[in-house]
């Protein structure tokens, strides 16, 4: 049974150890029985400078009795803490705040708080103890060889600190990225110095970054065992904003053959201060990796001042303790920090440990030799960057470029086709990295939107970043990266088209809409034609289902042919039955059949390919039409035919038919509609005015030409019927005209056409009954 002391106690927690300070003093030095019952070792130290102060400290593990001459010896040799950390001049509030924030063990923390503040007498005892100790501390601090140095940020530095902490970054979570990047650079510096055989550099164990989160204390701690900092470097790098130690280091070793400078991340010297977005106080413990180095503590609340003091028991490297603000406790959550690391810093060069668990297990495949990457590794990486638990890429391709820009790229084509109409589908596309650190979740500045279906990574050390490393500075480099990327992607798909036509056709059926979008949105004719190389169409010269490219068509062009002919139509059966195809079929021209709804506007935007103009067969007829074709034969006399054409003009009216001509280019149709640039007209109507205009208004605007085949049986019989039954002849003529509009793609209201056909059938059957 342990002795329950009848005196006020204060529990002082130091790392994994616990001490009890008693007031009034309790002398157990000569009381072996009491020591055995308590199970504590006993330490006793006397007054300093004739002050009558005695304190007894009992450590929570058996220790021999030790007498210390003064509190400084006790605190430094036994507790291993600076004096002012244990006893603070400013009273109970600061004393409590120090312990509550510093220590993680909830049980000890609660014990400390309860024992100091649970009873009024204890509060008074503690206050008296602190007041009594004040004079002792004055002597101790005057004796100390490492006084605290207080420095003031310069005026412009304070202003910049405020900008960094409050305005520079759009997301608070990026402070984790910035601190990890700094830690990575510190480790990289050490590795570089070791590679250059630098003298007086202390060797390190496994280079790594350690993070400790504590919800109870609301602290975020990050430590690296890298190069560390001297006192002067603390002043220079942390006392001056926009002073980049990494940049200085890179300049120093720029010409060294032993260094891989691409691994360094830091550029601007502001990332450390991003921690003030979430912390109201930051402590930095650091020790340079030299044999005679000392440990230092840098602390600031971000309000214009910082302090530096020499401290003991600091390990080589740098540890940063962020005391989180109210409302920022999420950054003391292990799962939250894991998510941030996976988002921004998963591919840094060194292991990242969170509470002793490794987080960044995925390798940056784009930096590995493709020969060393297995299919399984690709699957895992693809699923990681696409946030998918399953699925495999259809295509995988790498490319690396050193000029005109530095690029390391790995891209995948998903097997699950994204919704083309979802124009916001960019958040899970290509990720943009700079030196392994995420810059943009979606690389919209260097990858055109029409390639948004791709997944992967673009990493470039040439990316022009702003201070926050969240936004890119507009420059010609971005255009070069975009141009190189598009060129490489197009070239890859062309190779796949030749290598495995069947597999490419399947891919094309899924993703060709994106290619058409690229042609429509590109401002460069060269880029338009590059994208057009990826499109496939059926051809009048090939069997149904066989696809050809623009280049295939060009390779088969007739001698002297200067144009590429196409017909936009929903399917092959309609194409082969089209009056427009029939009108040019006799000329033995190869026609590309374009079935995609966007093909019409795509062809109009593309205009040409390999210097050959793209021409719709509908435009060919209108362009080559003479006033009236010379008829070889006709069942109608010249006079009857002229009268017939005049009757058609009067019956339909000037609004519906601007002009009437004869043609023998068609045999299966009695007539057809021709309009200059008919495809462009259709596209315009569908995009802008179709729903706003009536049929009569549209026709009045279009001024169509009606081309009549005088040898067609319907026309011949209609010429006679108009004299016998003009009402029925008029109804038939209007239906013939309506059919020609349908064939021209100028009628969308099919219901109205069906109604007119039924009316005509009813009228004909009634005539037959009479």
Binding residues for ATP: 178, 182, 224, 229, 243-245, 267-272, 318, 469
Provide CB contacts within 8 A for 37, sequence distance 6+.
1, 2, 3
Please report where in the chains the tokens 């990858």 appear, as a residue.
447
- The alpha helices in 118-171, defined as continuous H runs, are 120-143, 155-166
Please report where in the chains the tokens 């003991």 appear, as a residue.
312
What's the token pair of residue 339? 């998510």
Question: Considering only CA atoms, which of 589, 544, 592, 552 is closest in space to residue 569?
Answer: 592
Distance between CA atoms of residues 471 and 452, nearest Å: 19
Question: Considering only CA atoms, which of 82, 90, 433 is closest in space to residue 283?
Answer: 82
What's the token pair of residue 78? 């036994």
Binding-site positions read: 178, 182, 224, 229, 243-245, 267-272, 318, 469
Angle at 744 between CA 635 and CA 591, to 5 degrees: 90
Distance between CA atoms of residues 396 and 415, nearest Å: 11
Q: If DSSP codes are grouped into helix, strand and coil, which group holds residue 558?
A: coil
Question: How big is the chain, counted in residues?
Answer: 770
What's the token pair of residue 270? 């502001």
The three state secondary structure string of 409-450 is: EEEEEECCCCCCCCCCCCCCCEEEEECCEEEECCCCCCCCHH
Distance between CA atoms of residues 412 and 382, nearest Å: 7
Phi and psi at residue 13, to the nearest 5°? -105, 130
What's the token pair of residue 138? 């004055």
Provide CB contacts within 8 A for 72, sequence distance 6+.
48, 83, 140, 143, 144
Distance between CA atoms of residues 254 and 542, nearest Å: 61
Q: If DSSP codes are grouped into helix, strand and coil, which group holds residue 330?
A: helix
What's the token pair of residue 704? 């169509």
Question: Considering only CA atoms, which of 215, 470, 440, 216 is closest in space to residue 336?
Answer: 215
List strands edge to edge, sheet with 671-674. Answer: 659-662, 705-708, 671-674
- The alpha helices in 330-395, defined as continuous H runs, are 334-340, 375-385
Provide CB contacts within 8 A for 656, sequence distance 6+.
696, 699, 704, 737
Question: Considering only CA atoms, which of 530, 538, 542 is closest in space to residue 505?
Answer: 538
Contact 439, 465 (CB under 8 A): yes
Distance between CA atoms of residues 592 and 588, nearest Å: 13
């Amino acid at each position: 049974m342990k002795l329950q002391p009848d005196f006020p106690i204060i529990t002082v927690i130091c790392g994994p150890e616990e001490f009890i300070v008693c007031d009034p003093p309790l002398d157990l030095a000569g009381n072996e029985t009491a020591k055995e019952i308590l199970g504590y070792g006993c330490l006793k130290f006397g007054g300093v400078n004739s002050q009558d102060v005695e304190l007894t400290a009992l450590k929570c593990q058996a220790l021999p009795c030790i007498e210390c001459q003064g509190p400084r010896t006790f605190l430094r040799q036994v507790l291993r803490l600076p004096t002012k950390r244990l006893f603070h001049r400013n009273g109970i509030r600061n004393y409590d705040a120090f312990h509550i924030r510093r220590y993680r063990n909830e049980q000890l923390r609660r014990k400390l708080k309860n024992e100091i503040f649970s009873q009024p007498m204890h509060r008074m005892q503690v206050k008296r103890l602190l007041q009594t100790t004040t004079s002792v501390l004055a002597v101790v601090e005057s004796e100390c060889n490492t006084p605290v140095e207080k420095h003031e940020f310069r005026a412009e530095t304070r202003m910049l600190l405020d900008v960094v902490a409050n305005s520079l970054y759009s997301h608070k979570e990026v402070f984790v990225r910035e601190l990890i990047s700094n830690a990575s650079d510190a480790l990289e510096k050490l590795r570089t110095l070791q590679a250059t055989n630098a003298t007086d550099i202390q060797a390190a164990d496994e280079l790594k970054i350690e993070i400790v989160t504590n919800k109870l204390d609301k602290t975020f701690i990050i430590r690296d065992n890298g190069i560390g900092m001297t006192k002067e470097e603390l002043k220079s790098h942390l006392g001056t904003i926009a002073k980049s130690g990494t940049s200085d280091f890179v300049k120093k070793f720029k010409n060294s053959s032993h260094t891989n400078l691409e691994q360094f991340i830091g550029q601007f010297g502001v990332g450390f201060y991003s921690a003030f977005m979430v912390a109201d106080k930051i402590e930095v413990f650091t020790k340079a990796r030299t044999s005679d180095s000392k440990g230092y503590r840098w602390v600031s609340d971000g309000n214009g001042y910082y302090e530096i003091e020499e401290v003991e028991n600091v390990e080589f490297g740098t540890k940063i303790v962020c005391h989180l603000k109210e409302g920022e406790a999420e950054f003391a959550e292990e799962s939250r920090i894991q998510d941030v690391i996976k988002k921004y810093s998963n591919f840094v060069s060194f292991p990242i440990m969170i509470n002793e668990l490794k987080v960044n297990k995925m390798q940056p495949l784009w930096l590995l030799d493709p020969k060393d990457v297995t299919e399984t590794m690709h699957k895992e990486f693809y699923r990681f960057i696409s946030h998918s638990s399953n699925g495999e890429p259809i295509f995988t391709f790498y490319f690396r470029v050193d000029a005109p820009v530095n690029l390391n790229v790995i891209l995948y084509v998903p097997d699950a086709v994204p919704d083309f109409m979802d124009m916001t589908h960019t958040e899970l596309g290509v990720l943009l990295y700079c030196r392994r650190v995420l810059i943009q979740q979606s690389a919209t500045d260097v990858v055109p939107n029409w390639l948004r279906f791709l997944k992967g990574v673009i990493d470039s050390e040439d990316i022009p970043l702003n201070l926050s490393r969240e936004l890119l500075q507009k420059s010609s480099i971005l255009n070069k990266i975009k141009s190189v990327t598009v060129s490489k992607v197009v070239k890859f798909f062309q190779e796949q088209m030749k290598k495995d036509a069947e597999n490419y056709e399947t891919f094309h059926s899924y993703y060709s809409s994106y290619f058409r979008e690229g042609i429509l949105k590109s401002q460069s004719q060269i880029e338009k034609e590059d994208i057009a190389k990826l499109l496939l169409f059926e051809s009048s010269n090939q069997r149904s289902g066989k696809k050809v490219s623009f280049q295939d068509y060009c390779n088969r062009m007739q001698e002297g042919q200067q144009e590429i002919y196409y017909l936009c139509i929903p399917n092959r059966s309609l194409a082969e039955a089209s009056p427009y195809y029939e009108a040019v079929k006799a000329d033995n021209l190869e026609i590309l059949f374009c079935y995609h709804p966007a093909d019409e506007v795509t062809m109009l935007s593309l205009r040409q390919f390999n210097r050959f103009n793209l021409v719709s067969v509908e435009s060919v007829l209108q362009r080559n039409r003479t006033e009236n074709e010379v008829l070889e034969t006709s069942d109608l006399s010249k006079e009857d035919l002229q009268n017939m054409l005049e009757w058609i003009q009067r019956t339909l009216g000037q609004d519906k038919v601007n002009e009437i001509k004869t043609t023998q280019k068609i045999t299966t149709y009695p007539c057809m509609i021709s309009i200059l640039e008919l495809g462009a007209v259709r596209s315009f109507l569908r995009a802008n005015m179709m729903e706003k205009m009536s049929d009569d208004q549209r026709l009045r605007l279009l001024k169509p030409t009606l081309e009549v085949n005088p040898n067609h049986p319907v026309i011949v019989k209609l010429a006679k019927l108009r004299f016998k039954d003009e009402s029925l002849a008029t109804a038939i003529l209007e239906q013939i005209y309506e059919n020609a509009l349908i064939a021209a793609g100028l009628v969308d209201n099919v219901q109205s056409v069906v109604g007119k056909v039924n009316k005509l059938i009813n009228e004909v059957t009634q005539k037959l009954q009479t």
